[in-house]
Amino acid sequence: MKYRGLIIYVVLTILVVSIYGFVIRDGSSGKETGEVSGHSIIKNKGSDTMVNLAQAWAEVYSDISDTVSVEVSGGGSGTGVAALINGTVDIANCSRQIKPKEKEEATKNTGKEPIEFIVGYDALAVYVHKDNPLNEITIPQLAEIYGEEGTITRWDQLGIANSGCRSDKIIRISRQSNSGTYFYFREALLGKERDFESGSLDLHGSKDVVEVIGRTHCAIGYSGMGYATDHVKMLKVATTADQPYYAPNLENVIAKTYPIARPLYMYSLGEPTGEAKAYLDWILSDEGQKIVEELGFVPLTKN
């Protein structure tokens, strides 16, 4: 092997270069957030509803601050809270409020109490296909459509003739059973005692829901109002039949008249410091809130 010397040199060079890449640069990158020198990482995890929002914030923020990179992952509110309890994230996104028990566990596990920030509001819109003649619906009707042993299974029971749907059967589109959206929608419709009837299409993403409804005349589903497209229609919703119907839009959510709207939370472990604090402050600033509105969520109102 007359090239052996050459091969050894090549391997050594590769090793040195990768050690430079992996180890030495790590050393300077700093493992904790809030480190002053070098660049730091904020780990941000949680709700699927908020993942696009969190991603948009992270993307814009990476232009504002060169030294911070925000790592965003979804997985659902439960994941965020679980990570908070394990102390493996800096900021957890949550589309529901953290339960007292979880708060206690986090405090016990990490020695720091989760601090809550409301960063915006989300209205869950009820979607149907754009050719569906239905325009408005009440919460009890929705409960009978989605709830276990519900009585409404056909479109004519809602008093409309859905001509695009030949079988007239309502196809229920839902979300996988532990997303924050699913939890919130179930509670808003059915309270804490009743479950959804199984047999709905439990899709994995908010976008998926809207896309499937856009192709399906028989379908009804729920998703964040920011996900609306040209192929679907958002229904006006009333608490009961004798109440007025409200469309899911900014004014109605801010006025708290639209019945299926909820706050979006971010949790940090203990009072945030350093980079994490700067990030949260920026999110709550006008600039951060503008992104909330751009993505179809509802920004915080100024007091």
Partner 1 sequence: MNTETDISAQDMFTETAIGKQNRHIENVVKIFFLIMTCLMILPLLLIIGYLFYKALPVLSLDFLFTNPKDNMRAGGIWAPFLGTIYLVVVSLLVTAPIGVFASVYLNEYARDNWFTRIVNLAVVNLAGVPSIVHALFGVGAFVLFAGLGESILAASLTLAIMTLPVIIASTTEALKAVPMSFREACWNLGATRWQTIRRIVLPNSISGILTGVILQVSRAAGETAPIMFTGAVFFKPIAEGDFFAYNIFDQCMALSLHLYTISTQVPDVTEGIPYGTAIVLVGSVLLVNAASIILRVYLRTRKKW
Partner 2 sequence: MKFIQILFSFEGRINRSGWWLLNLPIFVIFAVSAVTFDFPINKSLEHIQVIILLVLALVHITISAKRWQDKNKSALWLLFHIVPLICSVSILAVKLTSGWWELFHLITVINGLWTCVELGFIKGTEGSNQYGPDSETSSETVIDAYISICGISSIIFVFGIFFFVFKEGAGFLFGGLDIWQFLTSEEWYPTSLENKRYGTFALILGTFSVTALAMLLAVPFGLGAAIYVSEFCSPKLRETFKIVIEFLAAIPSVVWGFIGLTLMNQLIIQVFNAPIGLTMLNGGIMLALMSVPIIVSIAEDALKAVPDSYREAAEALGATRWQVIYRVLLPAAKNGLLAAVLLGAARSIGETMAVLMATGHSVNIPSGPLSWIRTLTATIAAELGEVARGGEHYQVLFIIGILLFSITFVVNLIADLVIKGIRQS
Residues lying near partner 1 in the complex (CB under 8 A) are found at 20-22, 25-26, 29, 41, 48, 51-52, 54-56, 58-59, 62, 69-74, 88, 203-208, 210, 226-227, 229, 295
Nearer to partner 2, 212 or 253 (CB): 212
In terms of C-beta distances under 8 Å and separation of at least 24 residues, what long-range contacts does 138-144 make, across chains too? Answer: 138/237, 138/238, 138/239, 138/240, 138/241, 138/243, 139/188, 139/189, 139/237, 139/238, 139/239, 139/240, 139/259, 139/260, 140/240, 140/241, 142/189, 142/237, 143/189, 143/190, 143/194
Residue whose C-alpha is closest to residue 70's, from 280, 295, 302: 280
71 binds partner 2 (CB under 8 A): no
108 binds partner 2 (CB under 8 A): no
Shortest Å, Cβ 73 to partner 1: 4
CB 207 within 8 A of CB 232: no
Cα angle vertex 63, ends 62, 65, to 5°?
Answer: 65
Nearer to partner 1, 51 or 253 (CB): 51
125 binds partner 2 (CB under 8 A): no
* Interface mask toward partner 2 for 11-40; x: CB under 8 A: ------------x--xx---x---------
153 binds partner 2 (CB under 8 A): no
Tokens of 83: 């990570």
Nearer to partner 2, 193 or 242 (CB): 193
Shortest Å, Cβ 274 to partner 2: 18
Q: Cα–Cα distance between 259 and 253 in angstroms, integer?
A: 8
Q: Which three-class secondary structure state does DSSP give residue 237? A: strand
What is the CB-side half-sphere exposure of residue 99 using CA atoms within 13 A? 9
Shortest Å, Cβ 244 to partner 2: 30
Q: Which does 100 bind (CB under 5 to 8 A by kind): partner 1, partner 2, none?
A: none
- Selected from 18, 28, 62, 86, the binder of partner 2 by CB under 8 A is 86
CB 47 within 8 A of CB 94: yes
Amino acid at 136: E
Q: Which does 71 bind (CB under 5 to 8 A by kind): partner 2, partner 1, none?
A: partner 1
What is the CB-side half-sphere exposure of residue 62 using CA atoms within 13 A? 11
Name the helix (H) or strand (E) containing 291: helix 286-294
72 binds partner 2 (CB under 8 A): no
Q: Which does 189 bind (CB under 5 to 8 A by kind): partner 1, partner 2, none?
A: none
Tokens of 145: 């459509």
214 binds partner 2 (CB under 8 A): no
Q: Which does 1 bind (CB under 5 to 8 A by kind): partner 1, partner 2, none?
A: none
CB contact burial 268-293 (16+ within 10 A = b; e otherwise): bbeebebbbebbbebbbeeebbebbe
Q: Which does 202 bind (CB under 5 to 8 A by kind): partner 1, partner 2, none?
A: partner 2
179 binds partner 2 (CB under 8 A): yes
Cα angle vertex 105, ends 101, 110, to 5°?
Answer: 150
182 binds partner 2 (CB under 8 A): yes
Binding site for partner 2 (CB under 8 A): 23, 26-27, 31, 48, 74-79, 81-82, 85-86, 88, 102, 165-167, 171, 176-179, 182-183, 192-193, 195, 198-204, 212, 215-219
